[in-house]
Structure 1
Amino acid sequence: MSSFNEINPAGLAVAIVPDSFKGSVPASGVAEAMKLGVQAAARAANRPVDVRTMPFADGGEGTLDAILAAWEVPARELETTDAIGRPITARFGLSPQGDIAVIEAAEANGLPAVSDVPLRPLEATSYGVGAIISRALDAGVQQIVLCIGGSATTDGGTGLFKALGARFLDARGGQLPDGGGALRDLETIDLSGVDPRIHEVTWRIACDVTNPLTGPSGAAAVFGPQKGADPGQVEILEAGLGRLAQVLVRETGRDIAQVAGMGAAGGLASCLAATCAVELVPGWELVADVLGIHRILADADLVLTGEGRLDTQSLAGKVVNGVRLASPHTADVIVIAGSVQLEENQIEQAGLLAAYSIAPGPASLEELSGNASGLIRATSYNVMRTYLASR
């Protein structure tokens, strides 16, 4: 990809790299609205501006859509099951070259998909995620990028591994039922039928937490209640994950119980990490690498990014922080957000030139969401007119 300056040496180079405004506009829609506003401002000021857009995400909800939009490829679909075994249609992405698969695990084991029924934390399974992985392997990929946030499961990834051919057995040789609640009775793991192709691909897992699999900061204790587990069920899940870790050590020689990040998504990556070489990467960093974000940021004079709410979390591992870190030190970085909840000194200390809310005045969340695209475009226009007037 050529640089900005090779294309338009006399113009201002603007890179637009936003997250979604969750619940309102996907990242691709935010990027398009920002682009329209910037281009309209440039025309009004009669100034040459070269604009490039790249929808972005932090490895959580919306990552698949952002990557598909940036790659300009359609989603691949397959029939699988949700976290309680109901048939669903899930999606995944293949890079234009067909060598990388991007899987958003929540497509199959996501919490929102089972919010219509009482949560079943002991039985919830990641089996459907494994079915997506199997289809990606069928496509002949060389690398699998697995985004694991938003799960309804605490099964240590056993469901995922069942779908790939593993058998989790009790002391009598019977296969355990789905879910983390049954893992207390785990005696052996039969890996003889596991798809050998899992060892032939590169595994990169988007993970933004450092929680271990077990213990007081582990998957069951910290995240179990979010998935409907009461204190008694948390104890059952903790015991099951502990037993899983013990048996994995015996079967594979790898002790993953206290490895940072293994507690993410109910231990979803645990069986993979015990049997394959996996790399856990902060979500925004992984997405940046997959999309090659540095290619459009390298020569930018101005970088526009944004998300639904700019707050202290935005400065610690979210898209805004990732874009700021990836931007050249010579570029000005401006944030456009649904709401801005940072003080002026925090914005300055974060290395941002400015941050703007799309709210034109007092408004409810419903009002802002209903016209978010138009408000993003209008705010981008005003920001760009002001910025051009200062140069």
Structure 2
Amino acid sequence: MRIVIAPDSFKGTIDAPDVARALAAGWASVRPDDEIVLAPMADGGEGTLEAFEAAVPGSRRMPVTVQGPDSRPVDTYWLLLPGDGAGTAVVELAATSGITLLDPLQPLDAHSIGFGEAIADALDHGVDRLLLAIGGSASTDGGAGALTALGARFTDAAGEPIASGGAALANIADIDLSELRALPAGGAIVLSDVTNPLLGDLGAAAVFGPQKGATAEHISQLDTALAHFAAVTGGDHAAPGAGAAGGAGFGLLVWGASMGGGARAVAEAIALPESVAGAEAVITGEGRFDGQSAAGKVPSEVLRLAEEKGIAAFLAAGGIDRDAVAAADDSGDTDPSAIAGFAASVALVDLAGGVPAAMDDPARWLHAAGERLAASFGSR
């Protein structure tokens, strides 16, 4: 049998390529004659660069030093994918302006300048197209920092450049986009499955601000500042995805980029539909599978592809909130491990006996999960 293994990273514990390898080793220990295809996935957040690098032969890391979200230098890279012409650049916000680069959190002052600097470096290289992965942001600056690094100028009433960070957006008196870098010939696609607008109760500050240390007072201040930013730029604050990554989605839309579903765009870029079409089963996973997982996350995209091809899909997750997802009872499947359309599922916390043990050695328990799923497949 041909088995495709296409998981997301387990955020904060193990990256997607290592997840795929551990699951594959466990599966092979039970079914050694199966052909296993590794296709690590991502949805636009942390781990997107690694997923592309593992899946696309000939991809190349392009080192760059940028301003981190608190202006300290960060040595990072963007990824050059081969292709006609100068190729495609994958630039990841989490690797340049991500929350994991910031300690302590700075909800009002963190910025996305480094993300824009990495994009500018890719443009200087002459790439034909940009894939911009925007999960994991440290800031709520509406993408203003990134736009500044790309040539935009935002000034206060005295004609001076505004400070970095979301709070400072309220001080914008004038904007100058005449020096803003042009998009590459093939355009720029934003990889994000977040559909939140920029403003309001479902906006960037209200929904994602608390993850970045924002208090209720901060959220109100940031939302007001973002509203002013939207007004002076004339961008569509209600556009789906404008609120992604602290409003970086909004800034990129102002630049002229297009929104694309994160997991689906990554799947197409690494030719996952073609891999799944020739397989008998597919395994996916993520750190926590819950009620949000069906909203365009990696497991839901892999499950969609499996259902299109009429093959079995299996799920391995760090934890599964079974109360938050649809049970498989209506399908008539009596397997207690089946859930939400998957032929079988397994949670690492169940195998390990708790969250601390599962997080302490995720590769070990992913190997065990692969064994469990292979045994389930063999008994079908």
TM-score of the two chains, using structure 2 as the length reference: 0.88
Against the structure 1 CA distance between its residues 384 and 80, is the aligned structure 2 distance closer, same or farther, given a 3 Å change threshold? same
Alignment match, 1:307: 286
User: Is 1:75 aligned to residue 61 of structure 2?
Assistant: yes
Alignment match, 1:339: 319
Identical residues among aligned pairs (%): 36
Alignment match, 2:333: none
Task: Give, in angstroms, the shift of residue 348 of structure 1.
Answer: 5.2
User: Is 1:375 aligned to residue 365 of structure 2?
Assistant: yes
Q: Pairwise mapping of residues 16-55 of structure 1 onto structure 2 (< 5 A)?
A: 16-43=5-32, 48-55=33-40
Against the structure 1 CA distance between its residues 357 and 238, is the aligned structure 2 distance closer, same or farther, given a 3 Å change threshold? closer
Root mean square deviation of aligned Cα = 2.3
Alignment match, 1:206: 191
Tell which deviates more after alignment, 33-42 or 321-330: 33-42
User: For 1:64 and 1:184, how far apart are their aligned partners in 2?
Assistant: 33
Against the structure 1 CA distance between its residues 232 and 162, is the aligned structure 2 distance closer, same or farther, given a 3 Å change threshold? same
Which of 259, 283, 287 lines up with 1:280 in the alignment? 259
Task: Give, in angstroms, the shift of residue 189 of structure 1.
Answer: 1.1
Task: Give, in angstroms, the shift of residue 358 of structure 1.
Answer: 4.0
Deviation string 1:300-325 (CA, Å, 9 cap, x unpaired) is 11112222333333333221111010
What secondary structure, in the 3-state scheme, does the structure 2 residue paired with 1:314 have? Answer: coil
Give the letter aligned to residue 357 of structure 1.
A
Alignment match, 2:127: 141
Give the letter aligned to residue 151 of structure 1.
S
What secondary structure, in the 3-state scheme, does the structure 1 residue paired with 2:248 have? Answer: coil
Against the structure 1 CA distance between its residues 170 and 91, is the aligned structure 2 distance closer, same or farther, given a 3 Å change threshold? same
Which of 193, 216, 220 lines up with 1:231 in the alignment? 216
Aligned length: 366
Q: Given that residues 293 and 299 in structure 2 are in contact (C-alpha distance below 8 angstroms), is that contact kept between their aligned partners in structure 1?
A: yes
Q: Given that residues 67 and 96 in structure 2 are in contact (C-alpha distance below 8 angstroms), is that contact kept between their aligned partners in structure 1?
A: yes
TM-score of the two chains, using structure 1 as the length reference: 0.86
What secondary structure, in the 3-state scheme, does the structure 2 residue paired with 1:312 have? Answer: coil
Deviation string 1:317-343 (CA, Å, 9 cap, x unpaired) is 221111010124421111123333325
User: For 1:19 and 1:209, how far apart are their aligned partners in 2?
Assistant: 16
Segments of 5+ residues of structure 1 without an aligned counterpart are: 1-11, 250-254
User: For 2:5 and 2:74, how far apart are their aligned partners in 1?
Assistant: 34
Alignment match, 2:42: 57
Q: Given that residues 351 and 365 in structure 2 are in contact (C-alpha distance below 8 angstroms), is that contact kept between their aligned partners in structure 1?
A: no
Against the structure 1 CA distance between its residues 133 and 101, is the aligned structure 2 distance closer, same or farther, given a 3 Å change threshold? same
What secondary structure, in the 3-state scheme, does the structure 2 residue paired with 1:260 have? Answer: coil
Against the structure 1 CA distance between its residues 201 and 217, is the aligned structure 2 distance closer, same or farther, given a 3 Å change threshold? same
Task: Give, in angstroms, the shift of residue 168 of structure 1.
Answer: 0.6
Q: Pairwise mapping of residues 251-266 of structure 1 onto structure 2 (< 5 A)?
A: 255-266=235-246
User: Is 1:316 aligned to residue 295 of structure 2?
Assistant: yes
Q: Given that residues 349 and 357 in structure 2 are in contact (C-alpha distance below 8 angstroms), is that contact kept between their aligned partners in structure 1?
A: no
User: For 2:319 and 2:169, how far apart are their aligned partners in 1?
Assistant: 44
Task: Give, in angstroms, the shift of residue 35 of structure 1.
Answer: 2.0
Q: Given that residues 8 and 42 in structure 2 are in contact (C-alpha distance below 8 angstroms), is that contact kept between their aligned partners in structure 1?
A: yes
User: Is 1:268 aligned to residue 258 of structure 2?
Assistant: no
Task: Give, in angstroms, the shift of residue 38 of structure 1.
Answer: 2.8
User: For 1:330 and 1:164, how far apart are their aligned partners in 2?
Assistant: 45
User: For 1:338 and 1:214, how far apart are their aligned partners in 2?
Assistant: 32
User: For 2:242 and 2:51, how far apart are their aligned partners in 1?
Assistant: 25
User: For 1:257 and 1:360, how far apart are their aligned partners in 2?
Assistant: 42
Q: Pairwise mapping of residues 110-149 of structure 1 onto structure 2 (< 5 A)?
A: 110-114=98-102, 116-117=103-104, 119-149=105-135
Q: Pairwise mapping of residues 62-211 of structure 1 onto structure 2 (< 5 A)?
A: 62-72=47-57, 73-97=59-83, 98-114=86-102, 116-117=103-104, 119-196=105-182, 198=183, 200-211=185-196
Against the structure 1 CA distance between its residues 379 and 244, is the aligned structure 2 distance closer, same or farther, given a 3 Å change threshold? closer
Give the letter aligned to residue 82 of structure 2.
P
User: For 1:357 and 1:232, how far apart are their aligned partners in 2?
Assistant: 38
What secondary structure, in the 3-state scheme, does the structure 1 residue paired with 2:377 have? Answer: helix
Alignment match, 1:6: none
